[in-house]
Amino acid sequence: MSTSGTAPAAARNVRFAWYAGLFVLGVLVGTAGALVQAAWLPGGLFLALLAATAVFYGGLRATGTQAGVVAGGGGWLLAVILLSLGRPEGDGVFAGGVGELLFLFGGMALAVMCATLSRLPRPAP
């Protein structure tokens, strides 16, 4: 009986674990960035966008595909959107200033830039 069928399944499971980890990392970086960018403007905005770029480009390098960027970017976008909604009492993380808009649109632009980079060459086995 051959066990060659388990190798692709194991590789697929590892790849999905990477995507799940990148998604969670994107949520964490999006949440931290939303708090930091408003606290230390303009340095906090630069730091938050730098961290988001690290997640997006790191996802590309770690997985070798654009799906790694999408996983990290999806987590980042989910956190930012949920934090921008606010609460029924009127409290919210984003006040609607220029810094928040630069963080939102700048992060999305950086994710798109990382996703449109060419695929990394696969090393020869």
- Those residues of the chain that have pLDDT short of 70 are 1-5, 7, 87-95, 119-125
pLDDT at residue 8, rounded to an integer: 79
Cα–Cα distance for residue pair 2/92, rounded to 1 Å: 57
DSSP notation for 57-81? HHHHHHHSSHHHHHHHHHHHHHHHH
Cα–Cα distance for residue pair 123/103, rounded to 1 Å: 36
Cα–Cα distance for residue pair 37/46, rounded to 1 Å: 8
pLDDT at residue 99, rounded to an integer: 84
pLDDT at residue 122, rounded to an integer: 63
pLDDT at residue 63, rounded to an integer: 86
pLDDT at residue 71, rounded to an integer: 95
Cα–Cα distance for residue pair 54/52, rounded to 1 Å: 5
Cα–Cα distance for residue pair 31/82, rounded to 1 Å: 9
pLDDT at residue 14, rounded to an integer: 85
Helices 43-63 and 98-115 sit at what angle, rounded to 10 degrees? 20
Q: Which of these, 74, 82, 85, lies nearest to 107 by C-alpha position? A: 74
